[in-house]
Amino acid sequence: MPRNAQTKDATSEVTGPRSLTRLLGLFDVLAKSKHGMTLAELNQALQSPKSSLLNLLRPLVIDGYLACDNGRYRLGPSIFRLAAGIMSVWNFSSTMRPYLEELAQLSEESVYIGVLDTVGSVITYVDSIESRKSSVRFSVPVGAARPLYSTAAGRVLLAFGDQDWVENYLRNTKIAALTPYTVTSRKALREELENIRKTKISVSLGETFPESGAIATPIFGADDKIIAAIAIGAPVSRLEPRLSELRPIIVDVASRASGSTRSMLRANEAAALAESKRPAASAKRASVR
C-alpha cells in the first residue's frame, strides 16, 4: 500500500466515528483497571493497532485525560473533573437534589455531596446548597477538591471505599497538618475509619480549616457500594453543639437517598436491557415474514 494511503487510513482511525467508539472503550477498560494498562495490554483489550492507539493516547495524556507512568496508562485528573461536571447534571444529581434540599431545610446549614477522585486521591464536590443564614456560613463550590483524610465526607469515602485502594492510600499519602486539629497519626486515622464503618457517621471539626466543621454519612448504590458522601457543613462553634441533633437527620436523609439511587440504577439497567433486546426482536419478526 502506498505511504500516503497508509497515512490516510491511520488518520481516519483517529478522527472518525470508529475512533469515538475506541475512545469510549479506552476509558471503559482503564476505569476497570486498578493499576493501569500498558500499550500492549490496551492493544489486546481494544483489538486496535498500536499505531492508532498511540495517536489516540498522546493528546489525551497531554490534556490530562490520561496519565502515563512507567509505561502504564491510567485515567487522568481531567477525566475526573469531566466526570464531576457530568455528575452535577445527570440523573444522579437530579435524583439526589430533593434530598439535598431537604437536608438543607432541616439543618439550616450548608449541605453538599462529594465523590472520590482516585487519581487525585481527593474528594470532589459535585453538588451543594449554601446556608441561607446571613451570618458566617460554610461554603463549598461545586468542582472543588479537598483532602480525604481531613474532611468528614472524605473519610466516609475512605471508610466504605475499595479496601485495596484505601490501604494503598493510607500507606503512601503524606498526611500533613493543615490546622492544629488535623489528625495526622495513621493509626488514629485507621481507628477513625473503623468507627465510621460501625456508626456510618463521620465528623471533622477544624481539621481542614480551623473554624469549619462537618458531619457526613454515605450514600450507597447497587450492591451496597458507596457512590458518594453527603454532608452538613458549618462553623465549628455552631455545628459542634448540634451534632447529636443532626446525626439522626442526616442518616435518615442519606438512607432514603440510597434507596432512591438503587431504584434509579435498576430502572436504568432494565431500560438498557430492553433496548438491547429490541433489535433482536425486530430481526426475528422480519425473518418470520
Instruction: Return per-residue pLDDT of the chain as tens, 289 residues.
Output: 444 444 444 444 444 446 677 888 888 889 888 788 999 999 888 888 888 889 889 999 998 889 998 899 998 888 877 776 665 555 566 778 899 999 999 999 999 999 998 878 999 888 889 988 756 566 777 878 899 999 999 999 999 999 999 999 999 999 999 999 999 999 999 999 999 999 999 999 999 999 999 999 999 987 788 999 999 999 999 999 999 999 999 999 999 988 876 555 554 444 444 554 554 444 444 444 5
What are the backbone angles phi and psi of residue 47, rounded to the nearest 5°? 55, 50
For residue 108, the Cα-to-chain-centroid distance in whole angstroms is: 26
- Predicted pLDDT of residue 117: 86
- Predicted pLDDT of residue 239: 95
Selection from 127, 219, 147, 231 nearest residue 189 by Cα: 147
Distance CA(215)–CA(209), nearest Å, equals 14
Domains, in order of start, for the chain:
3-75 (1.10.10.10), 80-267 (3.30.450.40)
- Predicted pLDDT of residue 9: 45
Give yes or no for a contact between 123 and 165, defined as CB atoms under 8 angstroms apart.
no
Is this model's pTM higher than 0.75 or not? no
- Predicted pLDDT of residue 186: 94
- Predicted pLDDT of residue 103: 96
Give yes or no for a contact between 78 and 64, defined as CB atoms under 8 angstroms apart.
yes
Distance CA(266)–CA(272), nearest Å, equals 10
